[in-house]
Chains A and B, each alone.
Chain A
Amino acid sequence: MRIVLFAVLLGLFPGGVTGLLQAQENTAIISAEPGPPNTLGTRSDTEIWHDLRLGAGGLVNPSTGSPEGGVLINSEGWEWSKLRNPETSPVIRYGSWGLLGVLGALVLFFLVRGRIDHGADTGRRILRFRLDQRVIHWSVACVFVLMGLTGLAILFGRPFILPLIGKEAHSVLLTASMQAHNLFGPVFALFLLALFVKFLRGNFPAWVDVKWLLKGGGFFGGHAPAGRYNLGEKAWFWTAVLAGGALSVTGFIMLFPDYLATRDTIHLSELVHAIAALVMIGFSLGHIYLGTIGTRGTLGGMVDGHVDEAWAQAHHDQWLAEELGRSDSETAADPIPDAEVQEA
């Protein structure tokens, strides 16, 4: 019985004290003197504070002409800060796991499948990419690597790099990354536009893509037919164009926030920017792997422009047939032919 009574007192006591304090406070508020005209003085208006907290506009005098000039607290920002918090952010958590997953899958694929080889070279070489295409491709690649590294430093810096190098070095890395990222952004957009124009031909869907898909792209053995570009390359092209386009648009919004967006649009832009970047970086890892160590003979096509006919037969047989046919009938009339068959 004593125990029950003690528990009841213990429960009531804090409530009693709190109630007493609130009563004293209310008395103080009610008895406060009014302030200057057009103010509430020391009185509290709970509705105003409630509305301010929820991001209502027009409650404070707008100092600027912007749409958010009369908003004191951006309520969406609270949610946004949670999304950005390195310890809780799903973008950082799933993004880092996603990129590690792609790297792991590539290593596993290489260990299981090894380097894809097209057999013995014929010694006859055919032009795959013209000079302007190669220059634009590698220019985009250079800027993309720079943007990717600086962007990843900005996105993953606090959770992953700061503990390794300390606050001072991390702040230097971040300011350098941000300045380079901001300056190279428009350069990336310009090169991406040129890439879109120069590589659009041949990247539209075709019936042969279905056949290529049904054959597993030839990644696990067997021959998969393809035109100038196979379905995987087309997917990469459109991913690069769409994700790169999203990166460019959202990047410009964040570069010129005062002219192009409200705060909520900027929050959305940051989210889209981060997701598009992670998608593009993840896809690019696969592209880099297949273009270099994954497939013999592919890199040469993008460096000196030519591939061996055996490579073309193995990976792009329909394109080879078209080019050889064109070469036979048109080379004489075309001073810079798309297909230059060379004897090595």
Chain B
Amino acid sequence: MSLIEILEGPLWKASATIFVVFAAFRLMMILFTGRRHARARPAGSPAAGALRAILGHFLPWRALLKNGKAWFVILAGYAFHVGLFVLLLFAAPHVEFIREKIVGLPWEPIPRWGFIVAAQFSFAGLIALWVRRFVDPVVRLISRPDDHIAAGLTFAVMLSGCMALGEQSTFLRGLHLGLVELWLVYFPFSSLMHTFTWPFSRGFTGAMAGRRGTRA
């Protein structure tokens, strides 16, 4: 069995299994562990507070308009996440891989120029956000090694994917797939889990604030 066959076969299955099992386990832990019931009489609606936080944080007007230092964080954040979402789910090679290995159903990929542009936005956003972790004293202080590993691994996955765009080299395809598998194994145990946990964390913070009659 060649290295690429191992990467596309047993290693892919193993990494995908680790990803699914441990990500699901972590989500279950968050949802079912529960917390002590608050005894104080609520001053406002927790549900409304949660909803407001989940939706309202998509448009952080205060950060965008009033804090002149952080405008690019919003732009970079959107560029990175939207670009990555488009790239991951609608790039033709990914659509083909997902059809073949995961769901068995095809969907319409976007044209090649579309996912190239998405990748460019995503790279620009990721680079600006990761650089900020080093040059903003406050963000540098609160950044853990996990944050850098997560950003670095995501960058490596994207870069290897971009280098394999020619679809001419088995080595480059294997390199990309190998890094994707490493990323999948690291994912459930890292800050990358915010991909799934963001509605819960936003909602919880918003609900707590709503209960107290304030805004998150």
Complex interface: chain B residues within 8 A of A142 (CB): 127, 131
Contact A303–B120 (Cβ < 8 Å): no
Report the minimum CB–CB distance from A147 to chain B (whole Å): 12
- Where chain A touches its partner, the secondary structure class is helix
Q: How far apart are the CA atoms of A190 and B117 in the complex, in Å?
A: 12
Report the minimum CB–CB distance from B110 to chain A (whole Å): 16
Q: Which of B29-59 contact A (CB under 8 A)?
A: none
Given contacts A135-B128, A187-B124, contact A176 B135 (CB under 8 A): no
Contact B135–A304 (Cβ < 8 Å): yes
Counting chain B residues whose Cβ lies within 8 A of the other chain, the interface size class is 20 to 34
Report the minimum CB–CB distance from A308 to chain B (whole Å): 16
- Residue B111 at the A interface, CB < 8 A? no
- Residue A186 at the B interface, CB < 8 A? yes
Q: Of the listed stretches B20-28, B162-170, B179-187, B202-210, name the one at the interface; the rest are far from the partner chain.
A: B162-170
Q: How far apart are the CA atoms of A304 and B138 in the complex, in Å?
A: 10
Complex interface: chain B residues within 8 A of A180 (CB): 159, 162-163
Q: How far apart are the CA atoms of A172 and B128 in the complex, in Å?
A: 29
Contact A179–B124 (Cβ < 8 Å): no
Q: How far apart are the CA atoms of A171 and B168 in the complex, in Å?
A: 10
Contact A175–B120 (Cβ < 8 Å): no
- Residue A157 at the B interface, CB < 8 A? no
- Residue B172 at the A interface, CB < 8 A? yes
Report the minimum CB–CB distance from B56 to chain A (whole Å): 24
Contact A131–B164 (Cβ < 8 Å): no
Residues 49-72 of B, flagged 1 when their CB comes within 8 A of A and 0 if not, give 000000000000000000011011
Contact A176–B69 (Cβ < 8 Å): no
Contact A183–B119 (Cβ < 8 Å): yes
Q: Which of A179, A184, A303, A304 contacts B166 (CB 8 A)?
A: A179
Q: How far apart are the CA atoms of A336 and B67 in the complex, in Å?
A: 9
Given contacts A191-B124, A305-B135, contact A135 B119 (CB under 8 A): no
Complex interface: chain B residues within 8 A of A71 (CB): none
Contact B69–A132 (Cβ < 8 Å): yes
Q: Which of A143-191 contact B (CB under 8 A)?
A: 143, 171-172, 175-180, 183-184, 186-187, 190-191
Complex interface: chain B residues within 8 A of A43 (CB): none
Counting chain A residues whose Cβ lies within 8 A of the other chain, the interface size class is 20 to 34
- Residue B171 at the A interface, CB < 8 A? yes
Q: Which of B123, B164, B165 contacts A187 (CB 8 A)?
A: B123
Q: How far apart are the CA atoms of A115 and B69 in the complex, in Å?
A: 34
Q: Which of B69, B135, B159, B164 contacts A303 (CB 8 A)?
A: B135
Given contacts A183-B162, A187-B120, contact A131 B69 (CB under 8 A): yes
- Residue A138 at the B interface, CB < 8 A? yes
Contact A336–B172 (Cβ < 8 Å): no
Complex interface: chain A residues within 8 A of B127 (CB): 139, 142-143, 187
Q: How far apart are the CA atoms of A135 and B127 in the complex, in Å?
A: 9
Q: How far apart are the CA atoms of A128 and B127 in the complex, in Å?
A: 22
Complex interface: chain B residues within 8 A of A118 (CB): none
- Residue B134 at the A interface, CB < 8 A? yes
Closest to B76 in A: A135
Given contacts A176-B169, A183-B116, A304-B137, contact A138 B131 (CB under 8 A): yes
Given contacts A175-B172, A179-B166, A183-B119, contact A336 B69 (CB under 8 A): yes
Contact A179–B162 (Cβ < 8 Å): yes
Interface centre among B69, B116, B123, B159 (most CB of A within 10 A): B123
- Chain A contacts to B: CB under 8 angstroms: 130-132, 134-136, 138-139, 142-143, 171-172, 175-180, 183-184, 186-187, 190-191, 302-305, 336
- Chain B contacts to A: CB under 8 angstroms: 68-69, 71-72, 116, 119-120, 123-124, 127-128, 131-132, 134-137, 159, 162-166, 168-169, 171-172
